Amino acid sequence: MILKGTNIKKYFPIRKGVFLQTAGYVKALEQVDFELNEHETLGVVGESGCGKTTLGRVITLIYSATKGHLAYTTPDHHTSHIDKTINKHDLKRYRRDMQMVFQDPFSSLDPRMTIGDILREPLDIHQIYPNRNERDEYIEYLLSRVGLYPEYAIRYPHEFSGGQRQRISIARAIALKPRAIVCDEPTSALDVSVQSQIINLLQELKEQERMAYFFISHDLDLVHHISDRIMVMYLGSVMEEGSAYEVFNHASHPYTRVLMKSIPHWDPKQRKLGSVHLKGEPPSPINPPKGCPFNTRCPKAYDRCAREMPTLKRLNNHHSVACWLYTD
Amino acid sequence: MKGNTAVRVRKAFFKHKLGIVGIIILILLYLMILFADFLAPYNYKNTKRDFTFSEPTKIHWRKDDKFVGPFVYGMTRSRDPVTFAVKYVEDQEKVYPVKFFVRGETYKFWGLWETDVHLFGIGQHDDAVLYLFGGDRFGRDLFSRVLIGGRVSLTAGLIGTFIAVVIGAIVGAFSGYFGGWIDVTIQRLIEILRSFPRIPLWLALAMLLPPTWPSTTVYLGIVIVLSFIGWMGVARVIRGMVLSLREKEYVLAAQVIGQSNFKIITKHLIPNTITYLVVVSTLSIPGMILGESSISFLGLGIKEPMTSWGLLLKQAQSLSDIQSHPWLMIPGLFIILAVLSFNFVGDALRDALDPYRAVDKV
Amino acid sequence: MASFIIRRILIIIPMMFIVSFICFFLTELQPGDFVSQYLENPRISPEQIELIKERLGLDQPAMTRYLMWLKQIFTKGDFGYSFAFKRPVIDLIWERMGWTISIALSTILFQWIVAVPLGIFSALHPYKMWDYILTFIAFIGISIPNFFFALVLMYLTNSSGGLFSSQFIGEPLTWAKFYDLLQHVWLPIAVIGLSGLAGLMRVMRGNMLDMLGAPFVNSLRARGLPEKKVRKHVIKNALNPMISIAGMELPNIFSGTVITAIVLNLPTMGPFFYTALLNHDQYLVMTFLMFIAFITQIGNLLADILLAVLDPRIRMS
Amino acid sequence: MSIIQVERLKSHFKTDEGIVKAVDDISFELRDNEILALVGESGCGKSVTVQTIMGLLKCPPAIIEGSIKYLGKELIGMSNKAYQRLRGKEIGMIFQEPMSAFDPLYTVGEQACEAVSVHSKLDKAGIRDKIIAMFNKVGIPEAESRYDEYPHQMSGGMLQRMLIAMTLACDPNVLIADEPTTALDVTIQAQVLNLMRDLQKEFNTSIIFITHDLGVVAELADRIHVMYAGKIVEKAQVVELFDRPKHPYTKGLLASRLKRDLKGQILPFIKGTVPRAFEFPKGCRFHPRCPHAMEICRQRDPEPVVFENGHSCSCWLYASNNNIDGVDKT
């Protein structure tokens, strides 16, 4: 087990008035528990505003969680608690082992630096290769590893296409030989024909470098394709969680079912979008509904749903769901 | 600015015709003040009692319709019997050819070595002078004074802007990057200071400089005073840029790989605002030059014996002065020329460096 | 909306405290004081100087004088005593503030009436002959120091400045006097307003060009709206950011009035402030700076309110 | 009878780096009461095509050739006045970013009323009722109160439905939808697509639907044109295209679909990257990425080859004779 998150909560204060007092909160993450195991891909799927990107940024310490805590276990089973009080050595170790690939290829590379400098930065910070040519050799290896020509090292980001830039981001992520990479919608800004190239590259790297992925996406088909376990999120909480096979083929939570039905089926003979009947609009995260966040739009909601927030219940040891339809 | 962005910028800049005109004028102006002592025919300080308020000397080329080359007549000074106004009459007999590389008053070239060679002049005569821009109240050569005065006007603005941009960039970057209460206090302070009218505040600050200071320290004092207001505008806009850059994914990526905050600011944030800093400096130099001229014009800025274009204009304050000696306004034209060129260059730079209008148009 | 305004007004009070402290601190730092100009004057003996100092209260330490000054403002609305003019500062300012504000307001009006249409015009015909001419004039406008522009205008019209010709000074307001005023007042307004006008025109043109490229403009055209209607939308959107700029332009207008007034010897605060500054008339200088800062705060507040009225996104947030 | 006929349309742009041939000689027609999908990845020219039809391209940078006929009337070269009357009344258009299709300073109702009043003689109240009725029809809750709200107070899905309502309120013959659901979440997208299909049946408006998502096309379109690098490479009925794709690019797109049984395996993909407008290769523009590229593909542009019931494909693989004037095909 690499990383364990227990009841993670993240509220962003809304600042108002002349002295910027806090006038309310954007409740991005309400209640999230997860486990990321060795050499496993945990897929996080949900629509915009469900908090999946915020979760990714809490894990990589871009944001610090309002509540709950993260526990990181090193290969030699030494567990350290990741929060403000983390000591410098553990933090540096965590930074090496946990990397991230971002969504927008056009803003995840510093336009003022050459590709070589971009890949050199992580190596210099962690002093991986003290002498120069050994380091440059490694950079050339990284570039060919992600399917780019080593000569690209002297060129600038604006000279590359979206797909090529994403490969550079991936090269930067694997430079420190991390144990896990948080992939925040790595392919949603790319063209269809280029997407599958990047997905294949990620899978190939995962096998050869024995890494774990925390794969975030709004595309359920993609998450099913690449993940070993799937977590479905809605408005800051986990609705359903389990192995990819269980969640995809035995979707139990009404939201997951609607999500499955809403995905266009590439077959003009069986058009199924007509059968989707989901009412209303997603509520705003500033004042989410009481009880289960999905109750305002759930076709099967009943009075208890609007009162109490359901907790994750185990349907079997590969599948659990947070919904009052499944009481013991 | 490595790689072909430099090429793209140079190409875009030269498409901007006004920008080129601006650059050329500025180069000429700065060369002018660099060689001011050599170019000026007279020492800007020495007075000539019998040439007070003399008109700009007319240069003639033909003597009884024969081309002779540039020469000047001697001047006799007489008083108009009715109005008692001083009048200068050309004395046709006395002919003084204008020569180049002529010997004049001695000066220390760049303070290094003594010489008395001037680019042009008619030599020392007590009944003739070569005042291209005419003489002032004490009969000093306005042309020489404009050259020497340019040194103060064109450098005060430059140094003042440099200081303002450096302070503004640092304060703006920290206030934008760290946010929280630092940001709030800095922004409130700037808001208050900006609500003061600029020139009166400059005047009040200029009054802080003790009159006993020698003119050179007063010059530095004025530069500090000028930059005191300038830095706030720069800080406000740099803060805006840093706030948006801070959310950019390559900055987040730097955090994820463990980069220190300080290194993020110096390696990622500052290089990406450099292009903007160049634009804002060129655009705030005009404000500084105008500021210095205004303070000196009111006598609170540069002190005698030093001079600047603003101070030169001080003699042209009342209507009667202007009507009788309009040439006293010539230094004003130089101010406009310099400020205009900086505006042209700044505008062209902004279009070349920052086509997406990150800089608010002014 | 109301709470927004009230909060903004309440904020101005602490702001003015800080402003008053800055003003006091600023004038206190100046070397020498009102009395020091008498030191060189041989005919006044040192004891006499001490006596004057005491009478004017200049001998107490700075902090007590500042607190005493504040107390007087709140208790009797008395902003201190002007040593040079030997009259309460408030009367002096009140007398001259009328003209300062009216000239400033008419300058702003003049700027907006001229700059906005010209900015719109040159944005609608970009990179054409008129656009270049207007841009060039705008550049000249920004580059002329306003005291020099005043000198040039005085020279060209050989008027000796001032708001009234000699025979009308001190006369009650009659139509003839008002007409004469109009003949004179255009000069200071043009001088003070020019650089602001040039800047506003450039910004308006920039906003218009940005808005013309906004995606909703394409959507409006796709609905079949005639170009005239599309332009109405674009102008409204381009005007909003101008209002907050106008708020910030206020201090520049006042700064322009000070120096122009000195050259054109207008009956505004400018010359007063200058002479007060020269002979360390501390309270007059401080009060003048405070008044301008106060008016600017009010100006910014009005600009924010107007912006909230015009822009629903701000009003609703 | 076809409502819109496009013949050899070319939309080029003069830029500093030279002429960019965004749309290069495409021909197609929109039939009455049908949904035609223009499918392609970024830079294939689908948006430029519809902007040219709507006359939204300013001509100094754009150079437009060929012919676009709407109900027999030629649009290219038509006066601005006539074009402006045609937009909205005859051909309506909706866009990808719902939030940026509205002027933020006016309420949604005011803008809808302004758009409809340009084309209809009804008085203000009449128009208001018509719009509110239309809002209800597109499924907007409390349409009456939403009428007076501002765009920034509503979600993307809500705004997109209002845009559709406003456009259909002028009952145009043709509705052009430029990636209307790309910016929406998949659950909202499903609602909007259902809405568009129902409204198409009810108003029998013909729709040109622009998208890069073949799944959406399968759900909605009757006929499909696949575009690549400024050209139409394949035209077919929807079922025909999904069952028997002809062009290698279409095959590549269909193959790169995430199917359940492919889980964990290597996904088929099209090698190379999508070419940018100023670097279109010579000959068939897909040849650098085409697994069947031949010598002729690198030389000359293929002409469309027509198969049964309108299925046509521009690719040398299907060109009839073997050796086309001297260039060996294999």
Q: Which residues of A touch B256 (CB under 8 A)?
A: 60-62, 95, 98-100
pLDDT band at D321 (very low <50, low <70, confident <90, very high): low
Tokens linked to A253: 């939570």
Nearest-CA neighbor of D127 among D141, D112, D139?
Answer: D112
List the beta bridge partners of residue A11. A27
Confidence of residue B361 (pLDDT cuts 50, 70, 90): very low
The first and second tokens of residue D276, run together, are 């940018």
Of B2, B184, B268, the CB nearest to A110: B268
* Cβ within 8 Å of B, A 58-87: 60-62
Largest Cα span, chain C? 87
Pick the CATH number of D2-90+172-258+267-324 from 3.90.420.10, 3.40.50.300, 3.50.50.60, 3.40.50.170: 3.40.50.300
DSSP characters over B61-125: EEETTEEEEEEEEEEEEEE-TTT--EEEEEEEEEEEE-EEEEEEEEEEETTTEEEEEEEEE----
Cα–Cα dist C210/C212, whole Å:
6
Residue whose entry in the numeric block shows the structure tokens 């192995």: A243
Helix axes C227-264, C89-124, angle to 10 degrees: 140
Task: Report residue C297's pLDDT band, with 50, 70 and 90 as the boundaries.
Answer: confident
DSSP A35-89: EE-TT-EEEEE--TTSSHHHHHHHHTTSS--SEEEEEEE-TTS-EEEESTT--HH
Ranges of each domain in chain D? 2-90+172-258+267-324
Task: Judge: C29–B208 Cβ closer than 8 Å, yes or no.
Answer: yes
Q: Is residue A232 in a domain?
A: no
Average pLDDT, chain C: 83
pLDDT band (50, 70, 90) for residue B5: low
In a domain, residue A234? The reply is: no
Nearest to A170 by CA among A219, A137, A209, A218: A209
Interface contact flag, B319 C155, Cβ < 8 Å: yes
Whether the CB of D105 is below 8 Å from some CB of chain A: the reply is: no
C233 touches chain D (CB under 8 A): yes
Instruction: Give me A269's structure tokens.
Output: 């003979």
User: Which residue in C111, C101, C121 sits closest to C268, CA to CA?
Assistant: C101
What is the phi-psi region of residue B307: left when phi exceeds 0, alpha when psi lies from -120 to 50, beta otherwise? beta
The token duo for A192 is 């269809």
CA distance D273 to chain A (A): 7
Of A227, A258, A283, the residue at which a domain comes to its end is A227
Interface of B with C in 15-54 (CB under 8 A): 18
Chains that touch A (3 or more CB pairs under 8 A): B, C, D
Calculate how close chain B gets to C252, using CA atoms only, in Å.
6
Residue A68 burial by CB count (10 A; 0-12/13-18/19+): exposed, middle or buried? middle
Are A308 and A188 in the same domain? no
Report which DSSP code applies to C167: G
Q: Report if residue A122 sits inside a domain.
A: yes
Q: Min CA distance, A182 vs chain D (Å)?
A: 19
Which amino acid, residue B131? Y
Q: What is the 3-state secondary structure (H, E, C) of B288-312?
A: HHHHHHHHHHCCCCCCCCCCCHHHH
Nearest to A115 by CA among A66, A75, A167: A167
> If you count DSSP H runs as helices and E runs as strands, how many of each does chain B have, helices first?
13, 5
Which of A163, A192, A227 is a domain's end point? A227
Would you state the pLDDT for residue B83?
A: 74
Q: Which two tokens stand for residue B165?
A: 């941009």
Is-contact D273 A161, C-beta < 8 A? yes
- A134 and A261, same domain (yes or no): no
- Count Cβ atoms below 10 Å from residue A249 Cβ, excluding itself: 11
Q: How far apart are CA B99 and CA B120, in angstroms?
A: 6
How many residue pairs from chains B and C have C-beta atoms closer than 8 A?
Answer: 144
Q: Which helix (H) or strand (E) holds D296?
A: helix D295-299
Q: Residues of C with CB below 8 A from A18's CB?
A: 7-8, 11
Asked if D215 lies within 8 A of A262 by C-beta distance, the reply is no
CB within 8 Å of C36: residues ≥ 6 apart:
C280
Query: What is the predicted pLDDT for the residue at D208?
Result: 94
Determine the pLDDT at residue D123: 87
CB contact under 8 A, B329 and C152: yes
Of the candidates C311, C188, C296, C281, which has an alpha carbon nearest to the alpha carbon of residue C250?
Answer: C296
For chain B, domain boundaries: 3-34+146-357, 41-139
User: Where is pLDDT greater, at B86 or C40?
Assistant: B86
Number of residues that this document lists for chain B: 362
pTM to 2 decimals? 0.85
Question: Are residues A149 and A79 part of one domain?
Answer: yes
- Amino acid present at C92: L
> Model confidence at C34, in pLDDT bands (50, 70, 90)?
low
Contacts of A14 in chain C (CB under 8 A): none
Please tell me the predicted confidence (pLDDT) of residue B360: 42
Give the domain extent around A63: 3-227
What is the C-alpha separation between D199 and D191, in angstroms, rounded?
12
Mean pLDDT score of chain D, rounded to an integer?
A: 88
pLDDT at B302 over 70: yes
Distance CA D131, CA C223 (A): 15
In angstroms, the CA B219 to CA B222 distance is 5
- Looking at B152-161, C37-46, C246-255, which range is the least confident one? C37-46
Residues 95-154, chain C, touching B (beta carbon < 8 A): 139-140, 142-145, 147-148, 151-152, 154
Q: Is the domain of A183 the same as that of A246? A: no
What pLDDT is recorded for position A25? 87
- Distance, in Å, from the CA atom of A42 to the CA atom of D266, rounded to the nearest integer, reads 19
> Highest mean pLDDT range out of A161-175, C245-259, D277-291?
A161-175
- The CATH number given to B3-34+146-357 is 1.10.3720.10
Give the mean model confidence (pLDDT) for residues C246-274.
82
Out of D157, D216, D257, the one facing A281 most closely (by C-beta) is: D157
The answer to whether residues A244 and A214 belong to one domain is: no
Neighbours of chain D (3+ CB pairs under 8 A): A, C
pLDDT digits (tens, 9 = 90+) for B196-231: 888 788 888 888 887 778 877 888 888 888 888 888
Which of the residue ranges A269-278, B113-122, D106-115 would you say has the lowest mean pLDDT?
Answer: A269-278
The larger pLDDT score, comparing residue A272 to residue B169, is at B169
Q: Are C302 and C294 in contact (CB under 8 A)?
A: no
Query: Could you tell me what percentage of chain A is helix, strand and coil, using 3-state DSSP and rounding each to the nearest 5?
Result: 35, 25, 40
C210 touches chain B (CB under 8 A): yes
Half-sphere exposure of residue C285: CA atoms within 13 angstroms, side-chain side: 30
Looking at A205, A227, A249, the residue that finishes a domain is A227
